[in-house]
Amino acid sequence: MDEKSKIILTLGELIVIKAVLFDMDGVLIDSELIRLVHVQGIIKSMDIVMSDEEYIKFIGTSSHFMWSTIKHKYNLNHTLEELINKDRNEYFIYLSSPDTKITPIRGITELLKNLHENNIKMAVASSSPINVIEFIIESFKFNNYFNALVTGDYVNRSKPEPDIFLFAAEKLGVLPEECVVIEDSCNGVKAAKRAGMNCVGYRNLNSGNQDLSEADIIIDSFCDLIWPDLYS
């Protein structure tokens, strides 16, 4: 039995799926490098030196968690609200600029269509703010695929805590064990497993060297994920 067959058999035996929850950055769109450059620009303007490796640990977390941690570590005089607002406002302007080129991850559009055709509920569960989520979903005409858009701002605790995925499952009217989460970050995978959900870890090289080992399966391409193979 080849490796793909083993993955399909294992996942198929584990679950009866009613919903799939998608992270956005690094899963729906390849935006992690863009986000890294943006955040590093703000940090450098404050005369802070932070390595890429330190930033990578924040991938999957909310801007509130990230800037709260940075503020305390580097003893910044800015208020947390000022830091978050600066980050979000400038990032949205940059992201929505015609000069910024973002494309869906290869294979993700076909996967969304496939799940939709099989009446699987879907939600975005992303730490990005809601205006960014809505902009991306509308830009790529993904609106008809998703039953709910959930931001980390809707819950008290950021990934790796499970709050965002539990909230998304509740919005969809499904149980945690009836969900599969697709994530590209260590924090996201941990959150999915803490929520009691099955998890597909997507190895996105632009997301850095993320530890996805807690995921039920790890993939390198969405082109291998098809509803009848994985979940029937």
Say if residues 17 and 179 touch (Cβ distance below 8 Å).
yes
Residues 122 and 202 in one domain: yes
What residues pair up with 201 in beta bridges, in sequence order?
183, 218
Of the residues 95, 113, 135, which one is the last residue of a structural domain?
Answer: 95
Q: Do residues 115 and 159 both lie within one domain? A: yes
> Average pLDDT for residues 114-129, to the nearest whole number?
93
Note the pLDDT of residue 226: 63
For the chain, where are the alpha helices, taking DSSP H only? 3-14, 32-45, 52-56, 63-74, 80-95, 108-117, 130-139, 163-172, 186-194, 227-231
Same domain, 56 and 162: no
pLDDT of residue 213: 96
Share of the chain above pLDDT 90, in %: 61
Q: What is the mean pLDDT of the chain?
A: 87
Domain range for 120: 3-31+104-231
Question: What pLDDT is stored for residue 228 in this prediction?
Answer: 54
**DSSP assignment letter at 123:** E
Which pLDDT value is given to residue 118? 87
Residues 67 and 169 placed together within one structural domain of the fold: no
Structure confidence at residue 20 (pLDDT): 95
Asked if residue 127 and residue 77 are part of one domain, the reply reads no
End-to-end CA distance of the chain: 19
CATH number of the structural domain spanning residue 17: 3.40.50.1000
User: Do 168 and 226 share a structural domain?
Assistant: yes
Residues 122 and 81 in one domain: no
Final residue belonging to a domain, choices 95, 122, 138: 95
Total structural domains within the chain: 2
Predicted confidence band at 89 (pLDDT cuts at 50, 70, 90)? Answer: very high
- Asked if 120 and 17 touch (Cβ cutoff 8 Å), the reply is yes
Of 95, 115, 139, the one marking the end of a domain is: 95
Residues 109 and 184 in one domain: yes
Closest by CA position to 28, among listed 99, 92, 103, 129: 103
pLDDT at 101: 83
